[in-house]
Amino acid sequence: MSSSVIGRDLPRRDAGDKLTGRTRFTIDRQAPGMLHAALRRSDVAAATLLRVDVAPALAMPGVRAVATAADAPGRYGVGVADHPLFAADVIRYHGEPIAAVAADTIEQAEAAAAAIVVETEPLEAHVTMADALAPGARELHPGWERYEELEPGGTRAGNVAWEATVVRGDLDSAMTRDDVVIVEGAYAVGRQNQASLEPRVAIATVEDGRVVVETSTQHPWAVRSGVARLLDISESLVRVVVPAVGGGFGQKFEPSVEPFVALLARKSGSPVKIALSREEEMRTALGRENAEIFIRSAVTSSGEILAREAVVLMDCGAYGGEQTFLTTMTAHTLMGNYRLGAVRLVSRAVYTNTPPTGAFRCCNGVYCTFALERHTDEICAAIDMDRWEFRRRNLIGDGDLGATGQRFEGDVLVPMLDRMVQLRGESPPRPDDGRLYGTSVAVGTWFVFVGPSSATVNLNPDGSATLITAGVELGSGSLVQSLPQIVADQLGLDPADVIVRAADTDAAGFDSGVGGGRTTVSLGAAGTAACAEVRRKLFDAAADLLEAAPHDLELADGMVGVVGTPGRRMPISEVVAHAHGTSGPISGSGAFAAPGAEAMPGCAAGHMLEALDLPVFAVHECDVAVDPATGHVEVLAYRVVQDVGRAINPRAVEGQIQGGVVQGLGYALHEEITIGGDGRIRQAGFETYRLPLAGDVVPVDAELYEGAPSCGPLGAKGAGEVPILAVGAAVACAVADAVKRPVSRLPLTPPHVLALILGRDDEVTHDHIPRSWRANVLSDPDALEAAFASRG
Amino acid sequence: MIEFRLNDRQTHVDAAPMASLASVLREQLALTGTKVACGEGFCGSCTILLDDQPAPACLLPVAHVAGRAVRTVEGLAPNARLSPLQQALADVDAVQCGMCFPGIVMSLTALLERTPRPTRPQVRDALVGNICRCTGYERVVSAVLQLADGGLRETGE
C-alpha cells in the first residue's frame, strides 16, 4: 500500500467550481415545468385546530396543488414517532406547518398559502421547560402512550418526551462523608441556529411512479424513510439524490422539507421546489436546544471526585426529534473527562410549545462541557487547587471507568494536556489598559457516531476507481479529500484517479448519514473493506500475468507489481482488461458496523448508546480581555489540542478546527436566541442574530494529537465535529477568571458580562429542578439503584 | 427592457423594474454563482461589483443598474481559468461548503483592485459584509495577504 497519500495536505477537487460560482447546489437547481411551494404556518404557539379551508387557495391563479394533514397520515421521529408533517388537530408551536401549496411562481404560492382559512381556539402555551414540567401542566401530546416507539428503553410520560438515567456506586455515603467538600452549580444556555448559508431546500419529481427527491441533506437514507413514512408509501418508491450541500452543521441530519415537495409533486404531477426563507430558517430551525443543568459533586481536599449527581433538562420543543437520542450523550460529556466515584444522572428531553430543536455540531456536548468545566473550576476554587493540576489528577486514562462503567483504552487526555502546555509558550502580555484579563483550560469528551455504512468500489477499464457511497459533501472535505485519499492509499492510485459518486440511494447502499464525525471513519472503513475485495480480485487476475502468487503482489503508482521485484509490474488497466476476458469486471463491496463498546450492566437506562465505540477528546485554552466599561469580551488567543487518531489530511483538519472554534465563539459570545411569551423566536434574520464576522476572529493555534486508539480506517477519527466542543467552556472559564465572578449562562453578550461585573446578573437557580436526582426521575429511583446493585 | 453591461457584454433583460438584480441574474440569466443566503443585505453572498464597487445584488432593483456595469463571479474566471485571488484561495485550502465564496471573491476583488497590497486590517474590513459559517475566515485573510506578498502563484491554470 502506498502511504504517500495519507497525511498529505491534498487540495479539494471542488474548490475551483465553488470559487467560480459553477457549483450547483440544490438551491441553484430547477427542473422543467417546476412549481414552487410555500407553507402556511401557524401564527400561534398552542391551539386547537378547528377548521382548515383550502378552497380559497385552490381558486387562486397558478395554484396546482394544496396539501394538508389529510394527505400525510404518518408520524416520524428518532426515539418516538410523535411528529406529523402538518398540524392535524392541535398546533404545538409558532410556525408549525398547516398546509402546503404548489403554484407556478413562488409569489402565487405564498399568496395562496396566505388565503387558506385557519380557525383555531387558543390553548395555554408552555413556552419554558419550567412551565411544561409544573405539576398539573397541560400535556402537549395527549395520547403520548400510543405513539410508536422507534427505539426501545426510554422512560416517557406527560411532557417528558424521553428520559435517560445513569446509576453507579453508592451516592449517599459519598455525599455524606465528613471529609468532602460539596460543590453545586446551576447552568443555563440558550439555543443556537446552524445558519447554514444554503437553507433547507428540496426538489421532488415523480418518475415512473416513484418520487425522486433532490435535496440539501446530510442523511439521504433518513430522507428516504422519512418521506415514505409520512406519505405512507413504500420506501422503495422514494429515491434521494444529493448535490453539493451548502452547509448543514447537524440541522440537515433529519428529514424536514422533503416530504412537502414529495407530496405536492405526487398531487400535481409536476416537479416542485421548496426553499425556506432566511426568516423561516431562523424561526423554525432544528437548532441546538436551550438547556438547564444542575450538578453537585463531593470532592476530597486532594481533589478526588467521590460522587457526582446531575439533572439535565433539554428543550426538544414541540416534538422529541434528535433530543430523544441526545439524552444519551450527557452521560459521556457532562459526566465525562474525569474519574468519578458514584454517579447519578437524569437527562430529560422536555416538550414545550416552541419550534422543535435538533442536532448541531457536538450537540449537547457543547453545553455539557461548558457546565462541567465551569463546575470543575468552581471545585478547584473550593479546594484551592490549581486548575491544570486538578485536571491532571482526575482526567480519565487507560483502564479508567467512564460514567456508565465503560472501560477506556489508552492514556490520551493527560498527554494532550502536556502537549497544550508546550503549545502555549509564553503568556501573552497584559497591558495596563483597564481591561480585565483571564485565562482558562477546558477539556471535552465527545464521540464518533459510528453506525452502519456501506461502500462499493468499481475498478474502471482505465485503471481509475469509482467510490459509491451515500456520503454527502457538506463542506468538511470528507468526500473530496479524506475518502479519495483512503481509497487511493488502499489501491495504490493517485487520489485524482478516485472518482467519488454523489449520493444517490438508488446507487449506494445504506448509510447512517454524514454527521457525528462519522464519514471518514464509517465510510472510510466500508470503503477500505470494498478495496480489500478489489485487491483480492485484482491480484487473482494479475497472478497469471505476472507469474507470481497473489499474496506476493502489491499495488503502487497505478501498477500491480511483485513485492521485492521492481521490474515485474504492469498497469492496473491491463490487469482489468485481462479480467474482462476471464473473471469479468472488478468491483468490491464493503460494510462497516459499530464494534459495540460495552457499559457496566445495570448502569444506564434509556440510553441509545450506553458506551462510546470511539471517544474523541479535546483540550482547549483561551485568553481573554474584558472591557469593564462595556462588557465586551475580546478573545486574545485560542489554542486547541485535538485527538484525531490519525490525520488523513492535516491541513483540512486544521481548517475544520479554525471554523469550528469560530462557530463556538459565536455560541459563547453573541449568538443569542430568545423566545417570547408567545412562543415565537424573536431573531428573524442576520440583523438580530449576530454571527461571527471576519473582524471578530482570532487565528487558532491547533495541534493534532495522533496515536490514540481508534477503530477507524488507518487509525483515523472524525475531526470535523469536535472543534466546537469546548469553546463555550473555554471562553466562559476565561471570562470567569477575568471578572472574578461565576459564569453560569451563555452567551456572554456585552450586557450579560456588564451585569456580571456589576453584580447585577440574574443568578441561575433552576427552582423548578428539585435538588436531588431522585426527585427528578419518572422511573422509581429505588428500582434503578436496585438494578445496578444486582448487576450480573 | 432594461439594458446594462454584464461581465463586459451588453445585456438586455425584460424584468419588472423593482425585481432584484440577484433574482434576475439567477432566474433569467442562469448565473447562479451569485448566491442569496439572507435576501436582506446582511450576508454578502450576493455581492457583485456595480461600476467596480461591491454591492448586494439582493437589494438592488434591476432598474437601478440600467446603463451601468455589473460584474459577477462568472465574469472573473472566463475559460475556467482561476483569477490569482481564486487560485490563492484554492491553494491554501480555504474553501469549505462554498456558498459564501462567490461573494467573498467579489468583495476581495474590489479590494485588490483599489489596494493591491492591503494590510490585515484592510482585508478584514473588506470582509465585514461577508458571512462565512464554515471557515472562521482566517485562511481567507491569509490567502489575500500571501497573494499581496507575491507568495503564491501569479496566475491560475
Q: A266 and A117 share a domain?
A: yes
Q: A245 and A270 share a domain?
A: yes
Give the minimum alpha-carbon distance from B3 to chain A in angstroms, rounded to a whole number.
Answer: 23
Instruction: Decide if B62 is inside a domain.
Output: yes
- Domain assignment of residue A721, given as a range: 291-449+598-757
Instruction: Return residues 39-68 of B near A (CB < 8 Å).
Output: 39-40, 42-43, 45
Asked if B133 and A196 come within 8 Å (Cβ–Cβ), the reply is: yes
pLDDT over 60 (residue A650): yes
Residue type (1 letter), A593: A
Q: A686 and A646 share a domain?
A: yes
Confidence class of residue B152 from pLDDT cuts 50, 70 and 90?
A: very low
A44, A89 Cβ separation under 8 angstroms: no
Distance CA A38, CA A579 (A): 54
Predicted local distance difference test score (pLDDT) of residue B156: 36
Confidence class of residue B150 from pLDDT cuts 50, 70 and 90?
A: confident
Q: B61 and B118 share a domain?
A: no
Question: A718-769, pLDDT tens digit by residue?
Answer: 999 999 999 999 999 999 999 999 999 999 999 999 999 999 988 999 999 9
Distance CA B157, CA B148 (A): 19
Predicted local distance difference test score (pLDDT) of residue A792: 59
Output the nine-digit C-alpha cell for A606.
Answer: 434509556
Any chain A CB within 8 A of the CB of B130?
Answer: yes
pLDDT over 70 (residue A656): yes
3-state secondary structure string, A68-102?
A: EHHHCCCEECCCEECEECCCCCEECCCCCEEEEEE
Domain count, chain B: 2
Q: A411 and A527 share a domain?
A: no
* Residue of chain A whose alpha carbon sits nearest to that of B79: A20
Asked if A198 and B26 come within 8 Å (Cβ–Cβ), the reply is: no
Predicted local distance difference test score (pLDDT) of residue A342: 97
Q: Which residues pair with A350 in a beta bridge?
A: A160, A315
A59, A295 Cβ separation under 8 angstroms: no
Crossing angle of helices A727-739 and A650-669, in 10° steps, is: 50
Instruction: Decide if A21 is inside a domain.
Output: no
pLDDT, mean of residues B92-100: 98
Instruction: Decide if B156 is inside a domain.
Output: no
* Residue of chain B whose alpha carbon sits nearest to that of A686: B42
pLDDT, mean of residues A420-424: 94
Which of A18, A27, A694 is opposite residue B141, by nearest beta carbon? A694
Question: B32-57, pLDDT tens digit by residue?
Answer: 999 999 999 999 999 999 999 999 99
Q: B51 and B65 share a domain?
A: yes
- Of A69-73, A427-431, A623-627, which range is least confident? A427-431
Q: Which residues pair with A436 in a beta bridge?
A: A626
For residue A655, the chain B residues in CB contact (below 8 A) are 93-94, 96, 135, 139
A319, A83 Cβ separation under 8 angstroms: yes
Confidence class of residue B128 from pLDDT cuts 50, 70 and 90?
A: very high
Return the CATH number at B92. 1.10.150.120
pLDDT over 90 (residue A250): yes
Instruction: Decide if A158 is inside a domain.
Output: no
Output the nine-digit C-alpha cell for A59.
Answer: 381558486
Q: B18 and B66 share a domain?
A: yes
Q: A618 and A742 share a domain?
A: yes
Q: A646 and A747 share a domain?
A: yes
Distance CA A718, CA A449 (A): 9
Predicted local distance difference test score (pLDDT) of residue B151: 54
Q: A458 and A442 share a domain?
A: no
Instruction: Decide if A558 is inside a domain.
Output: yes
Predicted local distance difference test score (pLDDT) of residue A611: 96
Taking the CA atoms of chain B, what radius of gyration do you get in angstroms? 15
Query: What ipTM goes with this model?
Result: 0.96
Q: A458 and A438 share a domain?
A: no
pLDDT over 60 (residue A649): yes
Confidence class of residue A565 from pLDDT cuts 50, 70 and 90?
A: very high
Question: A350-375, pLDDT tens digit by residue?
Answer: 999 999 999 999 999 999 999 999 99
Instruction: Decide if B155 is inside a domain.
Output: no
Asked if B93 and A652 come within 8 Å (Cβ–Cβ), the reply is: yes
The mean of the pLDDT values for chain B is 94
Which of A12, A19, A699 is opposite residue B105, by nearest beta carbon? A19
Output the nine-digit C-alpha cell for A735.
Answer: 471570562
Q: B22 and B67 share a domain?
A: yes
Asked if A694 and B45 come within 8 Å (Cβ–Cβ), the reply is: no
- Domain assignment of residue B116, given as a range: 78-148
Name, in order, each residue with C-beta under 8 angstroms of A452's C-beta and a sequence gap of 6 or more: A510, A511, A512, A522, A591, A592, A593, A594
A539, A550 Cβ separation under 8 angstroms: yes
pLDDT, mean of residues A162-171: 97
Q: In the listed set B75, B93, B110, which residue is the last one of a domain according to the structure?
A: B75
Domain count, chain A: 3
Any chain A CB within 8 A of the CB of B97?
Answer: yes
Asked if B38 and A16 come within 8 Å (Cβ–Cβ), the reply is: no
Per-residue CA distances from A666 to A193, A370, A599 (Å): 10, 14, 35
Residue with cell 459499530: A594
Q: B30 φ, ψ to 5°?
A: 55, 30
Q: B8 and B30 share a domain?
A: yes
Return the CATH number at B48. 3.10.20.30
Distance CA A169, CA B140 (A): 51
The mean of the pLDDT values for chain A is 97
Q: In the listed set B35, B59, B75, which residue is the last one of a domain according to the structure?
A: B75
Q: Which residues pair with B133 in a beta bridge?
A: none
Question: A300-352, pLDDT tens digit by residue?
Answer: 999 999 999 999 999 999 999 999 999 999 999 999 999 999 999 999 999 99
Q: B86 and B64 share a domain?
A: no
Give the minimum alpha-carbon distance from A710 to chain B in angstroms, rounded to a whole number.
Answer: 26
Return the CATH number at A625. 3.30.365.10
For residue B86, the chain A residues in CB contact (below 8 A) are 16, 19-20
Question: A218-238, pLDDT tens digit by residue?
Answer: 999 999 999 999 999 999 999
Q: In this prediction, what percent of chain A has a pLDDT beyond 70?
A: 99
